[in-house]
Amino acid sequence: MTVMQTMKVDTERVTPAPADSCSAAPRRHPRPAGKDKYTISEVVAFTGLTAHTLRWYERIGLMPDVDRSHTGQRRYSNRDLDWLDFVTKLRLTGMPVADMVRYAELVREGESTYLERQALLESTRRDVLARIAELRDTLSVLDRKISFYAQGTIR
């Protein structure tokens, strides 16, 4: 079991995501639910994360309870892939790993933590908006410089 509840996916169509879906839009997985056991190598190829990162996520509690085969090999599910997609997006926001781990702990604790999870995501959202504003300002400076150089070019 992973730290996230996600939508069910069948091979014919994608069903709507529940209210607490972590990803923006459901995406089709390579294998249907129930037959969705991926090796760590397959997850590496599918997500772009390294095997080292996946094992580290597991060690720190960001990706707990990964299923294992009878030989002890990790077997990831579509739910795990959805969670990793969400974690990757959180990393892109600049959210500290400690906050990501805290969020994962809150998810495991259940519905009683909705308000705390919401607060954590709202704080991250404010940080992202501030970074976007900073980047827009930087882009404006670059555009002015490019325009300046374009006007000074002899044709």
The pLDDT value recorded for residue 51 is: 97
CA 19 and chain centroid, separation: 17
Q: Is the Cα torsion angle 4, 68, 38, 10 positive or negative in sign?
A: negative
The pLDDT value recorded for residue 22 is: 54
User: What DSSP string describes the chain?
Assistant: --S-----B-SS-BPPPPTT-SSSS----SS-TTS--B-HHHHHHHH---HHHHHHHHHHTSS---EE-TTS-EEB-HHHHHHHHHHHHHHHHT--HHHHHHHHHHHHH-GGGHHHHHHHHHHHHHHHHHHHHHHHHHHHHHHHHHHHHHHH---
| Integer Cα distance of 1 and 107 in angstroms | 12
Prediction pTM value: 0.74
Write out pLDDT tens, residues 71-130: 999 999 999 999 999 999 999 999 999 999 999 999 999 999 999 999 999 999 999 999
| Integer Cα distance of 39 and 42 in angstroms | 5
Write out pLDDT tens, residues 7-17: 333 434 444 44
Write out pLDDT tens, residues 14-53: 444 444 555 456 567 878 888 889 999 999 999 999 999 9
The pLDDT value recorded for residue 155 is: 55
The pLDDT value recorded for residue 34 is: 80
Alpha-carbon separation of residue 151 from 10, 56, 146, 147 (angstroms): 57, 51, 9, 6
